[in-house]
Amino acid sequence: MSESAILKRIMLACSRGAVRMFRNNCGALQDKNGQWVRYGVANPGGSDLIGWRTVTVTPEMVGARLAVFVAVEVKDKGRATDAQLSFIQAVRTAGGIAGVARSEEAALAILQTMPGDTVHTE
């Protein structure tokens, strides 16, 4: 199955309930003056899918609901680049949830972790 097909399946499987995922297209193009313009969140390195997962804070933390930033890098056979792995690590360090997924099941597993949990990325 192609990376594009896996990505679409992951988006369908993961954008339900407390999770909202959006396609983060990253790239570069030249403007009319020949200047390169980069687009996409955290380009280079931004994950294919970004969004949030709503979590309810425990009673010890007042019971507030928060949106925790999530990022999923989708791969079929290839490996995540150093920039992509750095972005994933930055999201985790900041308290978000992130990882590399090759299937819907792997993406759902990433999204079920709690901020600060260790997630296998490759």
In whole angstroms, give the CA distance from residue 47 to residue 23: 9
Assigned domain for 44 exists: yes
In whole angstroms, give the CA distance from residue 15 to residue 13: 6
The answer to whether residue 118 scores a pLDDT higher than 90 is: no
Per-residue pLDDT at 121: 53
Assigned domain for 117 exists: no
pLDDT band at 115 (very low <50, low <70, confident <90, very high): confident
More confident residue, 57 or 102: 102
Per-residue pLDDT at 117: 66
In whole angstroms, give the CA distance from residue 104 to residue 27: 24
Assigned domain for 16 exists: yes
Assigned domain for 122 exists: no
How many domains is the chain built from? 1
Residue 114's SS3 state is coil
Assigned domain for 85 exists: yes
Convert the pLDDT of each residue in 48-85 to its tens digit.
999 999 888 788 777 777 889 999 999 998 899 999 99
Assigned domain for 120 exists: no
Assigned domain for 121 exists: no
Count of residues in the chain: 122
The answer to whether residue 86 scores a pLDDT higher than 80 is: yes
User: What are residue 17's phi and psi, to 5 degrees?
Assistant: 60, -125
What is the domain-level CATH number for residue 77? 3.40.1350
Which residues lie across from 97 on neighbouring strands? 70
The answer to whether residue 14 scores a pLDDT higher than 70 is: yes
Assigned domain for 34 exists: yes
| Residue 40 CB partners (closer than 8 Å, separation 6+) | 24, 25, 26, 27, 46
Domain that holds residue 67: 3-111
The answer to whether residue 122 scores a pLDDT higher than 60 is: no
Convert the pLDDT of each residue in 16-43 to its tens digit.
788 999 999 999 999 999 999 999 999 9
